[in-house]
Homo-oligomer: A and B are copies of this chain.
Amino acid sequence: MKNIRMKVARIEREMKQEDLAQVVGVTRQTIGLIEAGKYNPSLKLCIAICKALGKTLDELFWEEKQ
């Protein structure tokens, strides 16, 4: 499932995928694939993304229902 909240949070911060990638220490492709819901990042990477975007795990990665 696509991670819209993450993409929105990134755009709110006016960051490109590549900017975020550089901040969290991965490649642009990895960020793109996570936003596209095409894979399953590690906890460490999720936390790094949250910190870079000023959000928590629940705000970006937790689905209340399902």
Binding site for B on A (CB under 8 A): 40-44, 46-47, 50, 56-58, 61-63
Which of chain B's residues have a CB closer than 8 A to the CB of A44? 40
Complex-state Cα separation, A63 to B51, whole angstroms: 11
Complex-state Cα separation, A55 to B47, whole angstroms: 17
Complex-state Cα separation, A61 to B48, whole angstroms: 12
Complex-state Cα separation, A47 to B64, whole angstroms: 11
Which of chain B's residues have a CB closer than 8 A to the CB of A47? 61-63
Q: Of all chain B residues, which has the CB nearest A60? A: B57
Which of chain B's residues have a CB closer than 8 A to the CB of A46? 43, 46
- Out of B40, B56, B58, which one reaches A43, CB within 8 Å? B40
